[in-house]
Copies of this chain bind each other. A is one copy, B any other.
Amino acid sequence: MMKILVLHGPNLNLLGTREPGVYGRRTLADINKALTDLAEAQQTELRFLQSNHEGALIDAIHEARGWADGILINPGAFTHYSYALRDAITAVGLPAVEIHLSNVAAREAFRHKSVVTAVCVGQISGFGWRSYTLALQALIDHLVTV
């Protein structure tokens, strides 16, 4: 059975209420539920963490070395400056997939730069909550193949 850590970065706990025109109306619980449904259908176990603390996300990535096969991560605004998060992904050596709900390339200039993508397997952005389910499928397929 495959095991995957799902990380939600800062401010994603407000999903559904935060700028719904940009991020959609689904809550984080809705997204986690959709991911769980998809995961169960593929014999995959998920563990979730949302945190507004960069350090807590790094801690969770470190712990994942002990149990997980891969990581789904929506780094939120940490995408644009958290080299510590980037180093954490490199350090544990687990395949990771970067997720964005919105099409970051169509928003403010500071959102066009990700310091994380280069150490991930790939990136999926712009499909709202479906960015998550696509990413889960992508990671499961990647883990099966590699």
Contacts and interface: CB of A to CB of B under 8 A. Distances in A.
Interface of A: 9-11, 13-14, 18-19, 51-56, 58-59, 62, 76-78, 80-84, 86-88, 90-92, 103, 105-106, 110, 114-115, 117-127, 130-131, 134, 137-138, 141-142
B56 A55 contact: yes
A44 to B, nearest CB: 16
Given A52-B59, A53-B53, A103-B117, 7 more contacts: A10-B55, A19-B91, A83-B110, A103-B120, A103-B121, A121-B126, A124-B124
A78 to B, nearest CB: 6
Most chain B CB inside 10 Å of its own CB: which residue of A54, A87, A118 = A87
Given A55-B56, A58-B10, A87-B11, A105 B81 contact: no
26 contacts: A11-B87, A18-B90, A18-B91, A19-B90, A51-B55, A52-B55, A52-B62, A53-B54, A54-B84, A55-B56, A76-B87, A77-B83, A78-B83, A80-B83, A81-B82, A81-B83, A103-B118, A103-B120, A105-B114, A122-B131, A123-B125, A124-B124, A127-B138, A127-B141, A134-B134, A134-B138
